[in-house]
């Protein structure tokens, strides 16, 4: 019965979060995402509110690209390492690298607080370098992180596990965003969070990440005779070729790639639209990112609830439709607004305006629809991939994600630099989401469309049914 679904999904979440099969991987991922998003957010605030630059929007978009580009070059290596060696050991070795990378980022924050303007200016390239380091570590970690879940979990648990991982990722974005915003916000001339505390916190998170990695259950070596490819470009294109040979996995990879394109474009545009159009303060930027993160977590939870025994792919076109309509409506709202002076609108002021509230609702719908879109898509890839090739399949999918995100962020940066307005970029994003919905339905054929309409019918007219 439909009413029994919450009682089934809640115990599954509890079991996963208290089990060594999943909990250490969850916390490992959470702490990594928390650190790299902390750095990215602090860098955004540093550029927009402290150093200042006529190309501030472009630099903000490039910060997102810096975190993503390593996935294109290093995901293949990560997949090969995860299939050749014990995945738990691979994760532990990767996490050890986070400590020196966090130390570099800590040095960047200490430099940003310097009274010497030249020293403070150099904090930006140092933070960019540390951001690239976190991106590189995440690129190698990704195939292992997602490949290890099917080794320890049943197929029926994958949607719930992926919902928790995606929710944790975006909650880490939320935590990193809030902490990064606080770290770079000043009360008069004094920072709300001392630079030394910021540095110590980051290194502490890295150490906790190593500890959580040490608790992951061993998986054994899937393909111990596998030869590691020394040239990362060679492994990148070979893995893409292997993924392309499996039509079902290839389409699923393209579907999940679109989610990350839509997500990174939305997140990279959000701080600039809030400062340049809404005239928002640092607190408004943080509030917008909070809304986006809550929406992703909500959508992920709904996707897990609707996927009782297997990933519910009927949610994918529904999510694409929601993302498309929300993006187009956000563009409508932004076009109706007169740009306000930067820093003139706080959170209370934003919520007192109808366009401001409407824009936050659009943002919530966009992100919640994204959660519905990504959770069943990625869980299906994990379930369909051959066990002895799973990490390399996920690596190939991550390469697709990186290609989607890298090209889109660089294109958006170029368009922003050329003077293309933010509302017009949201129009393009909305149309892209609607086209994606059509392509997904076309790829599925009649059977997929029939499953979708069956799910919609049961949702609205059969409240006592189990659902698909």
Positive or negative, the CA dihedral 51, 261, 351, 35 is negative
Task: Give every CB contact of residue 449 below 8 A, 6+ residues apart in sequence.
Answer: 441
Q: CA Rg, the chain, in Å?
A: 22
Tokens describing residue 408? 């889109």
Instruction: Specify the pTM.
Output: 0.70
pLDDT tens for the 468 residues of the chain, in order: 344 344 466 677 778 888 888 888 888 888 888 877 777 777 667 666 655 555 556 666 677 678 777 877 888 888 888 888 888 888 898 889 889 998 888 888 788 777 676 777 777 788 888 888 888 888 888 788 777 877 787 777 777 787 787 777 767 777 777 777 777 666 555 556 677 787 888 888 889 889 998 998 887 777 788 888 878 778 888 888 989 998 889 988 999 999 989 988 888 888 888 888 888 887 788 788 788 888 888 888 888 777 666 677 778 888 999 999 999 999 999 998 877 766 678 888 888 888 889 999 999 999 999 988 988 888 888 888 887 778 888 888 888 888 888 888 788 888 888 888 889 999 999 999 999 998 888 876 665 566 666 666 666 665 544 443
Cα gap 302→365, rounded to integer Å: 13
Query: Yes or no: is domain 2-215+232-461 CATH 3.30.70.20?
Result: no
Closest Cα to residue 45, out of 179, 188, 166? 179
Stated as kind and residue range, the H or E segment containing 411 is helix 390-417
Closest of 55, 98, 292 to residue 204, by C-alpha: 98
Rounded Cα distance between 378 and 372, Å, is 11
State the DSSP code for 49.
I
Contacts of 217 (CB under 8 A, 6+ apart): 20, 21, 24, 88, 152
Structural domain spans, the chain: 2-215+232-461
Half-sphere exposure of 351 (CA within 13 A, CB side): 8
């Amino acid at each position: 019965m439909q009413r029994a679904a919450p009682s089934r999904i809640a115990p599954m979440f509890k079991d996963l979060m208290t089990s060594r099969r999943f909990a250490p991987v969850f916390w490992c991922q959470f702490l990594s995402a928390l650190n790299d998003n902390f750095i990215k957010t602090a860098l955004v605030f540093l550029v927009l509110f402290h150093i200042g630059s006529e190309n501030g929007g472009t630099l903000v978009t490039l910060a997102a690209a810096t975190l993503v580009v390593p996935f294109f070059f290093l995901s293949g290596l990560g997949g090969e390492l995860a299939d050749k060696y014990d995945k738990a050991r691979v994760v532990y070795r990767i996490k050890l690298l986070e400590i020196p990378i966090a130390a570099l980022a800590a040095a960047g924050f200490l430099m940003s607080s310097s009274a010497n303007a030249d020293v403070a200016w150099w904090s930006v390239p140092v933070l960019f370098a540390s951001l690239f380091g976190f991106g590189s570590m995440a690129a190698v970690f990704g195939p292992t992180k997602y490949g290890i879940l099917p080794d320890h979990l049943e197929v029926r648990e994958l949607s719930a596990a992926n919902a928790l991982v995606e929710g944790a990722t975006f909650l880490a974005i939320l935590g990193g965003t809030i902490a990064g915003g606080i770290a770079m916000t000043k009360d008069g001339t004094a920072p709300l969070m001392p630079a030394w505390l910021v540095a110590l916190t980051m290194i502490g998170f890295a150490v906790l990440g190593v500890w959580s990695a040490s608790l992951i259950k061993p998986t054994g070596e899937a393909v111990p005779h596998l030869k590691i490819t020394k040239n990362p470009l060679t492994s990148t294109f070979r893995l893409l070729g292997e993924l392309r040979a499996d039509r079902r996995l290839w389409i699923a990879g393209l579907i999940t790639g679109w989610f990350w394109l839509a997500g990174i474009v939305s997140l990279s545009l959000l701080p600039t639209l809030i400062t340049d159009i809404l005239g928002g303060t640092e607190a408004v930027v943080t509030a917008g990112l909070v809304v986006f993160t809550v929406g992703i977590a909500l959508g992920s939870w709904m996707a897990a609830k609707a996927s009782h025994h297997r990933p519910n792919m009927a949610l994918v076109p529904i999510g694409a439709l929601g993302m498309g309509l929300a993006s187009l409506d956000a563009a409508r709202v932004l076009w109706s607004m007169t740009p306000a002076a930067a820093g003139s609108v706080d959170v209370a002021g934003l919520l007192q305006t109808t366009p401001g509230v409407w824009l936050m609702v659009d943002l919530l719908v966009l992100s919640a629809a994204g959660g519905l879109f990504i959770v069943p898509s990625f869980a299906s890839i994990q379930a369909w991939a051959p066990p002895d090739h799973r990490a390399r399949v996920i690596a190939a999918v991550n390469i697709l994600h990186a290609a989607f995100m890298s090209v889109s962020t660089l294109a958006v940066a170029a368009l922003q630099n050329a003077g293309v307005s933010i509302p017009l970029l949201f129009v393009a994003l909305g149309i892209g989401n609607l086209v994606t919905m059509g392509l997904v339905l076309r790829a599925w054929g009649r059977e997929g469309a029939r499953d979708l309409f069956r799910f919609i019918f049961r949702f609205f007219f059969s409240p006592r049914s189990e659902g698909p």
